[in-house]
Amino acid sequence: YLLYKSIIQIGIKEPFNLLFRKIRRSELELKNIIKHSGAGITMLDENGTYLLVNEKAANELGGKPEDFIGKTLFDVFSKELAEEYVNSNRELIQNGINRAYQRTIDLPTGKKTFWITEQPLKDIDEKFSSLLSVTTNITERKKAEDKLSQLVSTVSHELRTPITVLLMSIDYLTKHKGKLEKDLEEKLMDGITRNIHLLNELAQDILLVLRIDENRLKLEWKEYSPSEIINEILYLLEPIGKEKNIRFEINIDESLHLKGDPKRVDQIFRIIIDNAIKYSI
């Protein structure tokens, strides 16, 4: 009675209005959070009908929220993909199972990668009847991860050859110390020096891969001799060739000159020749 009287005294004629106002305010706050969320939020029933679609999710699907409410997954995706989603969602709803996973999807707005969390929701009868999905667009992050993986692969491949040559040359010099002819010793030392310089160049090539990804690569077009480039590569790879009993034969017109970026051409030929040696029986 005292609480009722106090509410009357502060000017609210109907006590329950205060509760309704709080509920209404909470409802508006929740709607605003969903509407302006940076993640896509959808709610679907067991048959794949959209019950809720926020602006972010609608934007990813190529429309507005009102374009999807009441429609089904079959109206948005291919029949095969929609059936997969409906069956998967139905299993989660019926068993009350949460799920989080990464998936790349072909959408009307393009191929995109998402981190998706799904959670079944209960209705007024405390039965699971719908599925809430929160999707975060991680397409750019996935591209960055792929670029990093490509960079690691490229660097690993490029470093392996000169390091192998250095190790083999040093090992050969150590085992035959004092027994080598002067010409052979000088040749081995020259090869070691050249491969050390090559390692330094490869450090710059790491930046090159990044520039390619960022479309900032500038090629230095000038005249070069394919014969000189290939002969230099074979000279550096000679210790590896000898180890596998591979004999190099060159049949290139020494007078031939082309235009391009000799450093990039060298890099391409080095990879091709290295792979040829590596996979030779």
For residue 133, pLDDT over 90 is answered with yes
**CATH class of the 39-137 domain in this structure:** alpha beta
For residue 2, pLDDT over 50 is answered with no
For residue 142, pLDDT over 50 is answered with yes
For residue 91, pLDDT over 90 is answered with yes
How far is the C-alpha of 206 from the C-alpha of 200, rounded, in Å? Answer: 10
Where are the chain's structural domains? 39-137, 142-278
For residue 215, pLDDT over 70 is answered with no
For residue 31, pLDDT over 90 is answered with no
Cβ–Cβ < 8 Å for 43, 37:
no
Residues 6+ apart with CB under 8 A from 136: 38, 39, 40, 114, 115, 116
Pick from 163-167, 200-204, 210-214 the range whose average pLDDT is largest. 163-167
Is 117 exposed, middle or buried, given 0-12, 13-18 or 19+ CB atoms closer than 10 A?
Answer: middle
pLDDT, residue 10, reads: 53
How far is the C-alpha of 266 from the C-alpha of 88, rounded, in Å? Answer: 52
Q: Is 185 helix (H, G, I), strand (E, B) or coil?
A: helix
pLDDT, residue 1, reads: 46
What are the tokens at 65? 């929220």
